[in-house]
């Protein structure tokens, strides 16, 4: 049931965000938002490496279930890995922001838009790739639904 609520919340939030962009910026805004969303999804995939799924499966492993030290080490390892990858990604984007802006948005005048999308990636990775994995791993589906609703 909570998975359904989470999916519906994400769907509703996405619809409202798209409607707001359409009313505020028109068709050009929708195009930029679509390009920004695709860039964001790509960066989040690189930054998270789907480690949330690993967290969920490892937290239910018999050797970790009641061992707080191993659980803490797992969280620290995943968080450190994701933070390092996000910082590496931001550094890469900053080095090549002019050429990437031309390729993604069609003009090097849009470097600020590129950087705004990229600077949001660590927060998205933490929300979707870290907190979600921990809460699902602890079988706290309702709390996960609430967190993701507010973050999204």
Q: What SS3 state is found at 89? A: helix
Query: What does the chain come to in residues?
Result: 152
Q: What is the pLDDT of residue 149?
A: 65
Q: What is the pLDDT of residue 66?
A: 78
On whether the CB atoms of residues 106 and 24 are closer than 8 A, the answer is no
On whether the CB atoms of residues 127 and 117 are closer than 8 A, the answer is no
What secondary structure letter does DSSP report for 63? T
Nearest to 132 by CA among 123, 92, 41: 123
* 73 Cβ contact list (under 8 Å, min separation 6): none
Give me the tens of pLDDT residue by residue for the chain, a chain 152 residues long.
Answer: 555 666 777 777 777 877 888 888 888 778 878 877 788 778 777 777 777 777 777 777 777 777 878 878 888 888 888 888 888 988 998 898 888 888 877 777 778 877 888 888 888 777 766 677 777 777 776 777 776 666 65
Predicted TM-score of the model (pTM): 0.67
């Amino acid at each position: 049931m909570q998975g359904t609520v989470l999916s519906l919340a994400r769907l509703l939030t996405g619809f409202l965000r798209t409607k707001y962009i359409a009313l505020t910026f028109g068709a050009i805004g929708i195009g930029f938002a679509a390009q920004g969303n695709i860039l964001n999804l790509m960066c989040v995939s690189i930054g998270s490496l789907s480690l949330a799924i690993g967290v969920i499966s490892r937290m239910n492993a018999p050797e970790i279930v009641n061992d707080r030290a191993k659980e803490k080490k797992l969280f620290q390892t995943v968080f450190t890995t994701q933070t390092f990858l996000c910082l590496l990604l931001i550094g890469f984007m900053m080095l090549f922001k002019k050429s990437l802006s031309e390729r993604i948005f069609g003009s090097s005048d849009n470097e600020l838009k590129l950087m705004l999308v990229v600077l949001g990636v660590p927060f998205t990775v933490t929300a979707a790739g870290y907190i979600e994995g921990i809460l699902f791993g602890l079988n706290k589906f309702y709390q996960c639904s609430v967190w993701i609703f507010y973050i999204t």
